[in-house]
Homo-oligomer: A and B are copies of this chain.
Amino acid sequence: MTDKYILLATCSDKVGITALITDVIAQHQSNILHLDHFTEYDDSQNAEGQLYLRLEFEKIESLKDDLENTLTKHQINYNLFDNQHKTKIGLFVSKEDHAFNEILLRVNRNELPAEIVCVVSNHENNRQFAETLNIPFYYVPNTEDKEVVENKILKICSENHVELIVLAKYMQILSDHFVNHYPNQIINIHHSFLPSFIGANPYKQAWHRGVKLVGATSHYVTSDLDEGPIIDQDVIRINHRYNVQDLRKIGRHVESSVLAQAVEYHVLHKVIVTANHKTVVFT
């Protein structure tokens, strides 16, 4: 694999932005490997557009300063990533193991360019599997005040240099204080096809409504519960024979794959959260 830089950038749309950026890259003899470009207009299509860009290009050390200066000078918001750096993940889990194992195993299989630097759980039952893969496991029970618990966890994340928190069925609502430490850096899996069945017990709600598909939604966590920007969704067909327990069981498979897909998009630097709380996912 070539060493490369990945650039995510956004600004108000105007003539010449792409030329500006690609010129700098070309001047340094770096080859562009991928470029994707999206301009969003609001619904009325009257307003000025917002430009979202993703580029992959050969890593040439000399170009970094030049590129960053150009982007800054033109007031373009950006993140520049080096594809040799693996995103450091803090994996949070409660009792259920399915989404947790899916993430662990995909990382272990090198399917995701990421490193799980710590597992945080309010139960002990997933310790063994984490430790089998030599990943530090932190047991932080909910036996104290939420503030105390969260501060312990923030400290763990900080000490482990966590860059992305993955809630693999963590089942605890994080405070705004916590969430603000990791803006657009916490991914959750919600066990329904949002915005259907918001709130508790979505599979029971789904059974009562008699839906013919159940789904799952992965999203960034914001202070607004179940309202964070959606990264990915998928559904699976069911029929009248599925009782609530069957829905939970089949739901696990779609939860696991939808969460893993969102984590993959994030660690490959394919996602930008837009001004209107949605995501651009450059697939």
Chain B neighbourhood of A210, CB < 8 A: 229-230, 274, 276-279
Inter-subunit contact A31/B43 (CB<8 Å): no
Judge if A70 is at the interface, Cβ distance under 8 Å: no
What's the number of copies of this chain in the assembled complex?
4
Contact A38 B212 (CB under 8 A): no
Partner of A36, one of B33, B35, B280: B35
For A39, A129, A195, which residue has the most chain B Cβ atoms within 10 angstroms? A195
Q: Which of B19, B32, B234 contacts A37 (CB 8 A)?
A: B32
Say whether A31 contacts B14, CB under 8 Å.
yes
A181 close to chain B: CB less than 8 A: no
Closest B residue by C-beta to A33: B39
Contact B31 A13 (CB under 8 A): yes
User: Which listed segment binds B: A79-87, A161-169, A238-246?
Assistant: A238-246
Q: Which chain B positions have C-beta within 8 A of A40?
A: 240
Interface bin, chain A: 35 or more
| A232 at the binding interface (Cβ < 8 Å) | yes
A78 within 8 A of B: no
Nearest opposing residue in chain B for A56, CB measure: B37
Beta-carbon contact of B239 and A283 below 8 Å: yes
| Whole-angstrom CA separation of A188 from B233 in the bound complex | 26
State the Cβ distance, A115 to closest chain B Cβ, in Å: 18
- What are 13 A-B pairs at a CB distance below 8 A? A18-B22, A23-B23, A35-B35, A36-B37, A40-B240, A129-B132, A209-B278, A210-B229, A211-B233, A212-B233, A240-B278, A240-B279, A240-B280
